[in-house]
Amino acid sequence: METKALSTAVDLVKAPLLYKGKVRELYDLGEHYLIVVTDRISAFDYVLDPAVPDKGNMLNQISAFWFGLTKSMQANHVVHTDVEKLGDLVTAPELLKDRIMVTKKAERIDIECIVRGYITGGGWRQYQQTGEINGRKLPEGLRKNQALAEPIFTPSAKNDVGHDEDISIERMKELVGAELTAELERRSILLYMLAHQYCDSRGIILADTKFEFGIIGGEIILIDEVFTPDSSRFWAKENYALDIEIDSMDKEPVRTYLAHSGWDKNSKPDPLPAEVVEATASRYREIYRRLTAQ
């Protein structure tokens, strides 16, 4: 049976829509939030057509898996992921199965907590130009994709409009205070190290990742998504090498297609070809299978 992609849940949920992101939709249930993870896919700040079947439920189940795995070391916002508990708040529970998360309401800390265990991507580009990442001096002579001696914390300030802004630790202290900065750095690196070790046992390298935290009653909790292909850079161990562009286990087929399509990046691109959509869907299913063994 062919899976139908879900591009929005606004007609399926009888609750106020508070926020519609590129992928996630946030609804107000009163005491709690309802997060619905759609199959929308974005690249280069554009939401693309068509949506990718199974992407949303794979992302949501991966997050739920990690929230469960890490809750003994870090409290999080999950209340439950059971669509049946929503009763008549949803009109088509079968369409929302595996793609909802009911969460506690936290006061979001407006920092993206990024941890890098390898020097690649935007971090590599910074290092090439300055020898630093976010103002943090690194040893000379590092090679692209090289494992760092220890993971580093390279935060960014969250902007609801436009790109998040890379910031130094000193700037983060100015924004949220030295005590909270130190605590978020400590928690982020511990979470990364736990997940890196777990991924290693599954034949996967967790190159870098980002977290969001919030506060409820003075307690720091993990919110949003965690260790998904949309928030993390996963490499298959068998593909790892220095000095190359490693194919990451996410929407890489979309990026590759767009890079070679002649698209000008100044307007929304044409719909993705069916084979690119299917290749991308299979990536999300594969990373779910490899991470969870389900």
Quick: pLDDT tens for 267-276.
Answer: 999 999 999 9
Quick: pLDDT tens for 224-253.
Answer: 999 999 999 999 999 999 999 999 999 999
CB count, 10 Å around CB of 65? 17
Query: Residue 224 has which token pair?
Result: 């949003």
The reported pLDDT for the residue numbered 47 is: 94
For residue 263, is pLDDT > 70?
yes
Among the CATH numbers 1.20.1290.10, 3.30.470.20, 3.40.50.1980, 3.90.1150.10, which is that of 108-239?
3.30.470.20
What is the secondary structure of 225-256 as a DSSP string? --S-TTTEEEEEGGG--SSS----SSSHHHHH
Residues 221-238 as b or e (16 or more Cβ within 10 Å = b): bbbbbbbbbbbbbbbbee
For residue 5, is pLDDT > 60?
yes
CATH architecture label of 1-105: 2-Layer Sandwich (3.30)
CB count, 10 Å around CB of 186? 11
For residue 2, is pLDDT > 70?
no
Q: How confident is the model at residue 109 (pLDDT cuts 50, 70, 90)?
A: very high
For residue 184, is pLDDT > 90?
yes
Separation of alpha carbons 51 and 58, rounded Å: 14
What is the secondary structure of 160-204 as a DSSP string? SSS--EE--HHHHHHHH-HHHHHHHHHHHHHHHHHHHHHHHHTTE
Query: Mean pLDDT in the chain?
Result: 95
Q: How confident is the model at residue 1 (pLDDT cuts 50, 70, 90)?
A: very low
- The Cα-based distances of 28 to 85, 119, 216 in angstroms read 15, 39, 17
Strand ranges (DSSP E) for the chain?
17-20, 24-28, 32-37, 41-43, 46-48, 78-80, 100-104, 107-108, 111-118, 132-133, 136-137, 147-153, 156-157, 165-166, 204-216, 219-223, 232-236
Q: How confident is the model at residue 162 (pLDDT cuts 50, 70, 90)?
A: low
Quick: pLDDT tens for 59-72.
Answer: 999 999 999 999 99
For residue 160, is pLDDT > 80?
no
Percent of residues, the chain, with pLDDT higher than 70: 98
Least confident piece of the model among 14-23, 161-170, 177-186, 249-258: 161-170
Interval 106-129 mean pLDDT: 97
> pTM of the full predicted structure?
0.95
Least confident piece of the model among 48-57, 140-149, 152-161, 254-263: 152-161
Chain-centre distance for alpha carbon 27: 19
Query: Residue 145 has which token pair?
Result: 């994709």
Interval 152-177 mean pLDDT: 91
Q: Where are the domains of the chain?
A: 1-105, 108-239
Interval 262-271 mean pLDDT: 92
Bridge partner list, 118? 147
